[in-house]
Structure 1
Amino acid sequence: MPDLDDELMQQCQQGNMEAFDLIVRRNRVPLVNFIARLLGDPNSAEDLAQETFVRMFKAIKRYKSGAAKFSTWMYHIASNLCKNELRNRGRRGRFFVDNVTTESSSGPEPIEEDLIATAPAHVSLQPVNQLEQKEREHAVQSAISELPERYRLPLILRDLQELSYEEISETLTLPLGTTKSRINRARLMLKDKLRSFVESS
């Protein structure tokens, strides 16, 4: 299936700047959601999303159609901006998107248990299905925000933004096995956090 955003970027390269407005309208909401979940700060998400689009616009001439999926390129830019934002804030937690020797490059296959529903506006988890919807969403967001960034980022890209493992690997410049291993670990950590939340409720 043709990638509409990729086609729009090609139109931009041919001088049709109105195509970029459509790119922004199509991607603003998922991008803002991604940044908000990653930073745990909805107030900064809109500004960083806008900066992401600015960076994308400036890079129109360098965009290579077919080299990677448009979404991979967009989230790569956004994740780097988020990394810089966290560093500027002087937070203790930082992104660790480079490879680490403690994780196998072949890695175990991720657990294919959907801990997070992929619809951005509706998050549902089996461990907390007795909670009201708003409480459930709050519990999920709180649990995600407590994950170390090296696990939080690939988890969000996979289970909320619905990128494939290959796309996440390319976005984060990680070996595919490491990507799968981190998502696997993140799901287990999230499940434990949500189980503790339910037991304490």
Structure 2
Amino acid sequence: MVEPHTTSNRCQTFEALTLTHFNTLYSVAVSLTRNADEARDLVQETYCKAYRFWHRFQAGTHVKAWLLTILRNTYINTYRKTTRRSLPHTFDTEAPVDADFTLIPEQANAASMDNLLRHVVQDEVKQAIDDLPETFRLPVMLADLADCSYQEIADVMGCPVGTVMSRLYRGRQLLRKRLRAFAQASGYIGARATHDANVTDFDQASESLHPSCLRVAS
């Protein structure tokens, strides 16, 4: 039988290490469920499971990735059937990518993309992310919202690092395209600027979105 003080210490340790990731978990949950109430339930269930199996967590490993793995598995087993299915897309989501794959940016006018991002409002950014097919939406959220490394995302999604890199690259391409389309429709940039704004480095541009534009209110 566990002594009371031991249980108390366990609770304190659990709270200290996990509660700091609440906002990240909630934001990812909203992206997955597309429903605020279900997202809250998903996060609550994630924390309940995490506490129940806290003895399995290996000290010194990444608690954020561990929590996100629980959240994703809980979503798949409990919530996915009741949420909207992924949007259709034409990308080959399992396209093989070498382990040492390096994203080579397109030659473009980075200033045009910076200008686009300065004018795009939060709701449009969130909508653009929400409209991504689930295959690409989750890695984009994990990378640009949760600050997960390729390996952490691979662990959460249960796929090779090369697959993560491929999906993340394609997801960012789709996001970039949709944000440019919004900026053009809103008159922030012209058609020529939209054509030129293929972005030299989306990671640099996405810093303008992270974290304030990507986070949702909890």
TM-score (normalizing by structure 1): 0.73
Measure, in 1, the Cα distance between the counterparts of 2:29 and 2:23. 10
Q: Secondary structure at the match of 1:37?
A: helix
Match of 1:188 in 2: 173
Question: Residue 90 of structure 1: CA displacement?
Answer: 5.4
Q: Secondary structure at the match of 2:172?
A: helix
Give the conservation status (yes or no) of the 8 Å contact 1:105–1:175.
no
Question: Residue 125 of structure 1: CA displacement?
Answer: 6.5
Q: CA RMSD in A?
A: 3.0
Question: Residue 112 of structure 1: CA displacement?
Answer: 7.1
Structure exhibiting the larger radius of gyration computed from Cα positions: 2
Question: Residue 148 of structure 1: CA displacement?
Answer: 0.7
1:4-43 to structure 2, matched below 5 A, reads: 16-43=10-37
Identity among equivalent positions (%) equals 29
Paired residues, number: 171
Change in CA separation of 1:198 and 1:168 when aligned onto 2, cut-off 3 Å = same
Task: Select between 17-26 and 43-52 the one with higher mean Cα deviation.
Answer: 17-26
Name the amino acid aligned to 2:138: L
Q: Secondary structure at the match of 1:64?
A: coil
* Stretches of 4+ aligned residues off by more than 6 angstroms: none
1:38-187 to structure 2, matched below 5 A, reads: 38-66=32-60, 68-89=61-82, 91-93=84-86, 102-106=94-98, 108-110=101-103, 126-131=115-120, 136-187=121-172
Question: Residue 189 of structure 1: CA displacement?
Answer: 0.4
Query: Where does the alignment leave 5 or more consecutive residues of structure 2 unmatched?
Result: 1-5, 107-112, 187-218
TM-score (normalizing by structure 2): 0.67
Name the amino acid aligned to 1:167: E
Measure, in 1, the Cα distance between the counterparts of 2:35 and 2:115. 25
Give the conservation status (yes or no) of the 8 Å contact 1:166–1:176.
yes
Measure, in 2, the Cα distance between the counterparts of 1:13 and 1:62. 15
Change in CA separation of 1:90 and 1:18 when aligned onto 2, cut-off 3 Å = closer
* 1:164-186 alpha-carbon deviations (Å, 9 max, x no partner): 11111111111111110110000
Query: Where does the alignment leave 5 or more consecutive residues of structure 1 unmatched?
Result: 1-11, 95-99, 114-123
Name the amino acid aligned to 2:71: A
